[in-house]
């Protein structure tokens, strides 16, 4: 079987002496083995360093990602060296086939690892890897023209333009590869911005601008690679602008409002805000809406435009220090100086209360059933909850009052009977 294949290949170049082809074939196999060995060596010693760089720059640690980086390093080294060896000599047909198969296989596997490494579907990585393998193999042995001509013939005419199968395949391959590269860049840039000295709002704004810039550059580069003239898109600009004006005005309005919120830093991720009936801390500022996470675990999505037009109560706009007021009532028989000291002590015993400004206790009024006080203390972490903080302070006040026999009164009512029947008895019963 192998002899028949070699005989067929030799028949394609009958003028070449057999011994020359055998010698060049042996040299080609040796060089391919050298390329494979070099790829293995670099993947073993340089792969861990590349993995460390990726984990440091992208902030993503995974054993699977480490193996993919190692495999991609080995395969990239192999097809680069094989391509170099192929270009330095005018090889015969059999050595060309050896180099072509090596380059095609390693490029296909490299593409498959790249697509899967950026968390795109596995089937897409397999399809792209096979496509790159076939394209590279046919291109290197000089038979790609027949395939491209055949793909070009399959298509349909739309007006004065022709959409061929070759154009569709090329467009899909270009889009997938550029999208994979864009996702790698977005991961790197996002991690750099997240670990910078910028505040929360500036980080979100930087990530959004970086996303728009990278995807826009990938789109323009894709058009240039495909040979599409940008002036051809001018025909659609009017209709596209009209569609934005009428059909997407709310979406564009929310997008612009979100960018303005991030630029003026009036609302930032982590701020505690109250908008209407929604109270919680800002979890994320998205393209369309702001996510406000409540203490109940509910996530309210408030359109960005509402935050621009409605009154918003931001508890941490200039700083996160928030004063909490807690009403407390005690009996008229209590020692008021002792009560004030006990309530101050309750604030000191709760860890979240700030020492500066110090907590204070004010006597507000003489009520119907109690003397009413108000505890005023400061916290710096309202995102951790306000209701649970009040509960902790009141619980400590209750314990101290119990220890010192301070009475917390409750409403009492006296019933006055003005007259009774002259005869008979009156029975009182509680219902």
**19: containing domain:** 10-142
Check if the beta carbon of residue 145 is closer than 8 Å to that of residue 132. Answer: no
Domain check: are 380 and 306 in the same one? no
Domain check: are 103 and 33 in the same one? yes
Domain check: are 259 and 382 in the same one? no
Domain check: are 301 and 268 in the same one? yes
d(CA 58, CA 26): 43
Q: Is the pTM of this model over 0.75?
A: no
Count of domains in the chain?
Answer: 3
Give the per-residue pLDDT at 149.
Answer: 67
d(CA 110, CA 6): 29
Q: Which two tokens stand for residue 411?
A: 């409403």
* Distance from chain centroid for Cα 210: 13
Domain check: are 22 and 133 in the same one? yes
Give the per-residue pLDDT at 12.
Answer: 47
Check if the beta carbon of residue 343 is closer than 8 Å to that of residue 397. Answer: yes
Give the per-residue pLDDT at 307.
Answer: 82
Check if the beta carbon of residue 285 is closer than 8 Å to that of residue 267. Answer: yes
Helices marked H in 118-161 — which ranges? Answer: 122-141, 144-153
On the 0-12 / 13-18 / 19+ scale of CB atoms within 10 A, 201 is: buried
Q: Does 151 map to a domain?
A: no
Helices marked H in 196-233 — which ranges? Answer: 200-226
Domain check: are 351 and 275 in the same one? no
Q: Which one of 91, 126, 142 terminates a domain?
A: 142
Domain check: are 308 and 326 in the same one? no
Report the SS3 class of residue 431.
Answer: coil
Q: Which one of 142, 166, 182 terminates a domain?
A: 142
Domain check: are 24 and 114 in the same one? yes
d(CA 129, CA 51): 22
Q: Does 239 map to a domain?
A: no
Domain check: are 123 and 25 in the same one? yes
**Per-residue pLDDT tens listing for the chain (431 residues):** 445 544 544 554 444 555 666 788 888 889 989 999 998 888 888 877 777 776 666 556 666 677 888 888 888 889 889 888 888 888 877 788 888 888 888 888 888 888 887 778 888 888 888 888 877 777 776 655 665 666 676 667 766 667 776 777 778 878 888 888 888 888 778 777 777 766 666 677 777 778 888 888 888 888 777 776 666 555 555 655 665 566 566 777 777 787 777 777 778 777 888 887 788 888 888 777 888 888 777 888 888 888 887 888 887 777 778 888 999 999 888 899 999 999 999 999 998 898 888 899 999 999 888 899 999 999 888 777 788 889 999 999 999 999 988 888 877 666 766 666 665 555 655 44
Give the per-residue pLDDT at 376.
Answer: 92
- 189: number of CA atoms within 13 Å, CB side? 18
How many CB atoms are located within 10 Å of the residue 368 CB? 9
Give the per-residue pLDDT at 398.
Answer: 93
- Supply the CATH number for residue 335's domain: 3.30.70.100
Q: Does 280 map to a domain?
A: yes
Domain check: are 326 and 268 in the same one? no
Q: Does 37 map to a domain?
A: yes
- The pairing of strands 289-293 and 278-285 is antiparallel
- The pairing of strands 155-158 and 278-285 is unpaired
Q: For 238, which DSSP code?
A: H
Q: Does 347 map to a domain?
A: yes
Q: Which two tokens stand for residue 189?
A: 């840039």
Check if the beta carbon of residue 170 is closer than 8 Å to that of residue 222. Answer: no
Give the per-residue pLDDT at 55.
Answer: 66
Report the SS3 class of residue 398.
Answer: helix
Q: Does 125 map to a domain?
A: yes
Domain check: are 126 and 20 in the same one? yes
Q: Which one of 82, 107, 142 terminates a domain?
A: 142
Q: Does 155 map to a domain?
A: no
Among 84, 139, 148, 87, residue whose Cα is nearest residue 108: 139
- Supply the CATH number for residue 308's domain: 2.30.30.60
Q: Does 148 map to a domain?
A: no
Domain check: are 59 and 136 in the same one? yes
């Amino acid at each position: 079987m192998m002899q028949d294949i070699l005989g067929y290949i030799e028949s394609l170049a009958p003028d070449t002496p057999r011994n020359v082809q055998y010698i060049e074939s042996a040299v080609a196999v040796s060089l391919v083995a050298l390329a494979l060995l070099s790829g293995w060596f670099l993947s073993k010693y340089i792969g861990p360093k590349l993995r460390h760089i990726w984990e440091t720059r992208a902030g993503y640690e995974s054993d699977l990602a480490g193996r993919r980086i190692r495999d991609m390093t080995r395969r990239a080294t192999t097809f680069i060296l094989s391509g170099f060896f192929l270009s330095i000599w005018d090889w015969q047909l059999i050595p060309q086939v050896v180099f072509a198969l090596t380059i095609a296989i390693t490029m296909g596997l490299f593409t498959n690892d790249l697509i899967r490494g950026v968390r795109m579907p596995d089937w897409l990585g397999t399809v792209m890897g096979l496509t790159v393998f076939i394209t590279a193999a046919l291109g290197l042995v000089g038979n790609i023209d027949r395939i491209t001509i055949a793909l070009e013939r399959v298509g349909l005419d739309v007006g004065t333009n022709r959409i061929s199968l070759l154009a569709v395949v090329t467009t899909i391959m270009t889009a997938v590869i550029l999208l994979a590269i864009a996702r790698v860049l977005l991961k790197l840039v996002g991690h750099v911005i997240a670990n910078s000295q910028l505040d929360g709002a500036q980080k979100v704004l930087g990530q959004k601008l970086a996303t728009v810039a990278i995807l826009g550059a990938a789109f323009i580069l894709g058009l240039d690679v495909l040979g599409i003239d940008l002036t051809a898109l001018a025909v659609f600009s009017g209709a596209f602008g009209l569609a934005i004006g009428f059909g997407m005005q709310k979406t564009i309005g929310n997008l612009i409002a979100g960018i303005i919120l991030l630029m003026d830093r009036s609302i930032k991720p982590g701020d505690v805000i109250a908008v209407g009936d929604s109270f919680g801390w800002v979890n994320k500022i998205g393209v369309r809406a702001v996510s406000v996470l409540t203490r109940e675990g509910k996530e309210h999505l408030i359109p960005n435009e509402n935050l621009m037009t409605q009154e918003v109560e931001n508890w941490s706009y200039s700083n996160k220090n928030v004063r909490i007021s807690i009403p407390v009532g005690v009996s008229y028989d209590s020692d008021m100086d002792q009560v004030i000291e006990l309530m101050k002590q309750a604030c000191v015993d709760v860890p979240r209360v700030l020492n500066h400004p110090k907590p204070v206790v004010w006597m507000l009024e003489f009520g119907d059933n109690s003397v009413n006080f108000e505890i005023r203390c400061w916290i710096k972490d309202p995102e951790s909850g306000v209701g649970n903080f009040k509960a902790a302070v009141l619980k400590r006040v209750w314990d101290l009052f119990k220890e010192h026999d301070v009475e917390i009164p409750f409403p009492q009512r006296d019933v006055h009977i003005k007259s009774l029947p002259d005869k008979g008895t009156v029975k009182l019963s509680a219902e």
